Structure formats: structure tokens, C-alpha cells
Amino acid sequence: MRRRPPIYGLLAEFDDVNDLVRAARTARAAGFRHLDAYTPFPVEELAHALGVRPSRLPLVVLLGGLAGGLAGYLLQWWTAVVAYPINVGGRPLHSWPAFIVPTFETTVLGAAIAAVLGMLALNGLPMPYHPVFNVPRFALSSRDRFFLCIEATDPLFDREGTRRFLERLVPRQVSEVEH
Amino acid sequence: MTPERQAPAPGPLIRPGHTFATVTDRIAAVVLTGPTPRAWWIGFGVAFALLLVLLDAVAYLLLRGIGIWGVNIPVGWGFAIINFVWWIGIGHAGTLISAILLLLRQAWRQSINRFAEAMTLFAVACAGLYPILHLGRPWLFYWLFPYPNTMGLWPNFRSPLIWDVFAVSTYATVSVLFWFVGLIPDLATLRDRSPSRIGRAVYGILAMGWRGSVRHWERYETASLLLAGLATPLVVSVHTVVSLDFAVSIVPGWHATIFPPYFVAGAIYGGFAMVLTLAIPLRRIYGLEDFVTMRHLDYMGRILLATGLIVAYGYMMEAFVAWYGGSPYEAHLMQDRFTGPYAPLYWALLVCNVVVPQALWFARTRASVPALFAIAMSINVGMWLERFIIVVTSLHEDFLPSAWGMYYPTIWDWATFAGTIGLFTTLFLLFIRFLPMISIFELRTLLPEAEVKEELA
């Protein structure tokens, strides 16, 4: 097993979203792979710049919806045909048109719960502790500052060399992130 | 059309000169540091007093049963169902703004979606109370859900009333989820900016460790888009199912195929009127005119006009089908609406919902805040009258004249209604005191500095 690096990584702070996108591209082009960027609002270009793959969330939502719909329909069929059959003038017990509305609702319910829990789970939330919060200035990432973090697990990471590399990207400042 | 003939541009979505920092500080300050305005305390005092009226009315109802209300045969559905439909319709505008306008990429929704969604939640909470209180033995409401029980009983899924249970409970759940997901990045902002330890702890726990990573945002945006896609048919289905509670029966005036679209349009109409009713005082009291601008008010006025015309078409078709269908019961119902004992209410409804909103055709009306507020109030009243007319006139003179009767609400009907207004307002005022009433992170994306330059893209 590899030894844990002495620090979590190096965090560069930028004033402008364009500077961050440019820095992210440069870092990626320089061969860094264990990168993350932190922004106060979603920036689509960053995901491209850092090569983030599209998430599997849509598949999770599809499965949630299918499970919800199936469970809803089966519940109604079982209730109306097996558990509590009501004979209404000899009409079929399996009266599927009447079951469509609740089936639709349970489909949406299953899909929506899957979307929210899936998003949180894939994002690893709730997460009570994360090293980036050890940098006091990181609090500004939810206000008006943009951060690029090169993590120490990156094969190219070198405490001094990477810091010099980041400083060439003209950030506002570069800080070390403690574990 | 020549450019000169177009209405003057109603201004920008955010007043120029704002930056990420000013937008963040301004909205967060309302919750974190800003003094609570005196208007808030006055409003909260009144709302809380009305909430106590609700407790009183419900306690007496539990003690004595629904005989304290004005409902009886033939009018078995009174205020409870009128108010249920009214409240749930109000909720629909919040979902429309946050889901349908998101799918349509309407940037102007971002200043109003947060408090409109909160309005949805609290309106659905008020709506949900009514059918439960109307059950007679409200403490047994869980019998509506399918669960294994020693009585061996199961709900009848062929009944629209059971569909309604599923539609409304799904709607409430999905609305809460959608609203909370929208709050997460702003809760992180409050966590990072709260001056108090308790604030940091509470907002920190609610933000769940959100750190705005590019991977977070990617999944977050996907989730928001999917939730919007799910909530859009859901909101249409909810009021459709509410209308089916009526339309599946064979009562004259209820048994109509136009009911689902007519109800959905009416819901959005009444809901947008409530959004305006809330937005106009809010932006004034909290000085948020920079973010909820005249352009927003103008657009909401246009939506009111458009949905109001659909609703007016619905009224017209009801009258047309009553004549064209040739059913003497339907014809009698329509005649009763125009000339019967409830006719003043029907005429008032037509004035409030059809005549008054025509003023919105004029750009000058839509540029006047008092006029918009007055029209919104007129629609709030009009939509309530519409539900009164639908519920009561159909039941009070249906088929056999020997079974006709009148419906008069009692003091307890009014107390319960006023009480839910108190519940709604109390919850809403607590929301604007403790959570950001405008989505901060979505406003940041509207600023010019949020734009990534072309050569980088």
C-alpha cells in the first residue's frame, strides 16, 4: 500500500472564472490528472477542461423510475385481484386503465428519490470532513473566488515543483492543503 | 411589426453594477446579519394569531365532528374541498417556475424560483390539511394508504380520491426534494458566512459538506434537470387528478372532459397571482428591487394574462356545452349559476378573473406595481370564488328538485380558512427569516462576469 502523502494538495485561488478555466486547461495539458476545481456556481467549460466524464446519474434515475412504476402497478394489481377483489357488476378485476394514474405517480416518486439520493451518493455527500476546508480562504469559494486544487496523489505531484507550476498560472495565491 | 411599435424594454434582470460578492452579501445578509424589519414582526404577529385560530378550529372539530361546518346533504363538499383545490392550485405556480421555466431556459425564473417553491410547499401543506380534516375521523387518515392491517382492508384503486392521495403525497415529496436540492449550494454559502457558531453548525449540517467541486456541480446540474423533467408532468398530473375527483362523477357541471386542462390553467393562474402577491411586498420590504426587477413583474403579468385567457375559455366552454349538450340538468345548472341564489358570486368571479385582468394587455399596467398587486388580489379572490361555484352550485341543485338545498358556511368554516392563511404566512415568514429567499448561486450565473469567454470554450 502506498504511503499517504504529507499534504492533501496545493490550492490556487483565482479572481476570475476565465483564469480558472485557463489554469485548469494548462494543468491538464501539463499531465496532471488528480485535479479538482471549486467554483461558486456551475461552470460547464470546467468539466470539459478537467475531462470530467458525464455522470451515471441518468441511469440511476431510470432505474428508480422503473422500480417505482413496477412496484406501484404490482401493488394495485395484487390489491384489486388477490387481496381485496371487489365485484362491480362482473367487470374485470384487473382494471388496468384505473391503475395508470397511481402508477404514473409512483414512477415519478421513485425517479425523483433516485435523482436526489443518487446525486448525493455519487457526490459522496453528506461528508462531514474534507481537507480543502482547512484552507481558511476556501470559504470564499461559496462567494466570489475560484479554486484549482492539484492533489498530492497525482503521479506528477511534487511539493515544490507543482507550487512553482501553479504560481506561473498567475493565481491570487497558492496555499498548501493540510490533511 | 416595426421596432418603434414594440413596448419599451422593461429593463435588465439584475440591476447593473452587481458582482458575485454584492449579490451574495446582499441576499445572505437578510438571513445572517440584517436587522429583521418591523414589517416582518407585524406580519408574523398577525399570522401567528391566525395560526392559533386554526388550532382552535381544528381542536373544536376533533371534539365535535364535521357537524360544526356548514356541509350537509345535498352539499356534502363545502369549504374543505374549495380550500383544498384553491391551495393546491396556488402551489402549482412554484413548480411551474422552477421546473417548466427551467426546461424552457427562462433566465428570469432564477430571481423568483426559491420563494415560489417555498410557497408551493406551504400551500400544499395547507391543502393537505383539508381532506384529512374532512374525513370525519381524521386520526384514521392513514387508512388511505395501502398497508397490511388486521382488518384485511385495502384501498380501492379505481377511485379518483385514492389517485388524489397518491398524486398529492407524491407532489409534496417531490416538491420538498426539489426545493432542498436547490438550497444545498446556498446553505454552503450561509455556512461559510455565518457569524455565529450555531449558524455555522446548523447550516453546515444542512449543506452536508457541499464544496462546489466541478464534479459536484456536474451531477448537481444533471439532477436538477432530471428533477425538472419529472416535476413538469407531475404538476400537470396533480391538478388533473384533482379535477378528476369531480369529472369522474356524474354530477351536472362536474362531468366534463374540459376539466383537466381547465383546472391546470386555473391552478397556474391562481398560483402566479399568489407569487405576485408575495413578491411585491417582499422586494419592497427587503429592498430587493435590484434582483426582482420590473422586468420580472412584467413577465408575471403576461403569464397571468395568458393563463387567464385559457381560464376564460374554460368558462365559455362550460356554458357552451351546457347549451349544446342538450342535457336539461346541465342547462339548469348554467341557468342557476347566472340567475340562481349564488349568482352574485358567479358574476363576481367573472369580474375578478375575466374582466379585471384584461388591463394586463397594456404595458403601462404591467409597469405599475400597485396595479399589478390589485390585479393579483382580484385573481386570488376570483380563483377562490371559482372553486366555490364549482363545488357548491353543482351539488345544491343537481337532479330532483325535492333534493335541492342551500349551503351556508359557518363561523368554523371561516375560522379554518383564515387559520390556514395564518399557517401559510407563518411558515413563509419563518422561511424568509432563516433561509435565502432568492437563489444566490443561480443569480451569480446571470452576472456578466460569470460568462466564460469564447476562445476558451
**Residue A131: closest CA among A46, A5, A24, A1:** A5
Please check whether residues A69 and A110 belong to one and the same domain.
Answer: yes
DSSP assignment of B307-360 equals HHHHHHHHHHHHHHHHHHT--HHHHHHHHHHHHSTTHHHHHHHHIIIIIGGGGG
User: Is B213 in contact with A38 (Cβ distance < 8 A)?
Assistant: yes
Please check whether residues A101 and A142 belong to one and the same domain.
Answer: no
Residue B454 banded pLDDT, cuts 50, 70, 90: low
SS3 state at B154: coil
SS3 state at B138: helix
Burial B207-223 (b: 16+ CB within 10 A, else e): bbbbbbbbbbbbbbbbb
**Grid coordinates standing for B97?**
417556475
- pLDDT, chain B, mean: 91
**A85, A106, A122 — which closes off a domain?**
A122
Q: Which of A143, A145, A148, A177 should we substitute to test contact with B (largest number of B Cβ atoms within 10 Å)?
A: A143
Q: Are strands A35-38 and A146-151 parallel, antiparallel or unpaired?
A: antiparallel
SS3 state at A124: coil
- A7 touching chain B per CB within 8 A: no
Burial B440-454 (b: 16+ CB within 10 A, else e): bbbbbbbbeebebee
ipTM of the prediction greater than 0.90, yes or no: yes
**Grid coordinates standing for B124?**
400544499
**Residue B167: closest CA among chain A residues belongs to which residue?**
A105
Residues of chain A numbered 38-77 and touching chain B (CB < 8 Å)? 38-47, 50, 52, 54-55, 57-58, 61, 65, 72, 75-76
Give the mean pLDDT of B142-147: 91
Ordered domains of chain B (ranges, CATH) = 39-446 (1.20.1630.10)
**Residue A173 φ/ψ, nearest 5 degrees:** -165, 160
Range of the domain at A172: 9-54+129-177
CA B134 to CA B115: how far, in whole Å? 29
Residue B287 banded pLDDT, cuts 50, 70, 90: confident
Please check whether residues A92 and A137 belong to one and the same domain.
Answer: no
The strand ranges marked E within B83-231 are none
CA A172 to CA B265: how far, in whole Å? 52
Please check whether residues A31 and A85 belong to one and the same domain.
Answer: no
Give the mean pLDDT of A100-122: 95
Residue A3 lies in a domain: no
Please check whether residues A73 and A109 belong to one and the same domain.
Answer: yes
Query: According to the model, what pLDDT value does residue B9 have?
Result: 54
Residue A2 lies in a domain: no
Using only C-alpha atoms, what is the Rg of chain A?
25
Does residue B1 carry a pLDDT above 80?
A: no
Residues of chain B numbered 187-226 and touching chain A (CB < 8 Å)? 188-189, 191-193, 208-223, 226
Place of cell 485557463: A22
Angle, vertex CA B134, rays to CA B133 and CA B140, nearest 5: 65
Does residue B10 carry a pLDDT above 80?
A: no
User: Is A98 in contact with B215 (Cβ distance < 8 A)?
Assistant: no
How far does B15 lie from chain A, in Å, by closest CA? 18
Residue A1 lies in a domain: no
Tens of pLDDT, residues B53-75: 999 999 999 999 999 999 998 99
CA distances to A34, A76, A80, B241, B308 from A94, rounded to whole Å, are: 56, 9, 7, 21, 41
* Number of residues in chain B: 457
CA B169 to CA B191: how far, in whole Å? 31
Please name the helix (run of DSSP H) or strand (run of DSSP E) that holds residue A177, with its range, or none. strand A173-177
**A80, A107, A122 — which closes off a domain?**
A122
**Residue A48: closest CA among chain B residues belongs to which residue?**
B457
Please check whether residues A77 and A112 belong to one and the same domain.
Answer: yes
Residues of chain B numbered 427-446 and touching chain A (CB < 8 Å)? 441-442, 444-445
In chain A, the number of structural domains is 2
Residue A47 lies in a domain: yes
For chain B, percent of residues with pLDDT exceeding 70: 97
**Grid coordinates standing for B122?**
406551504
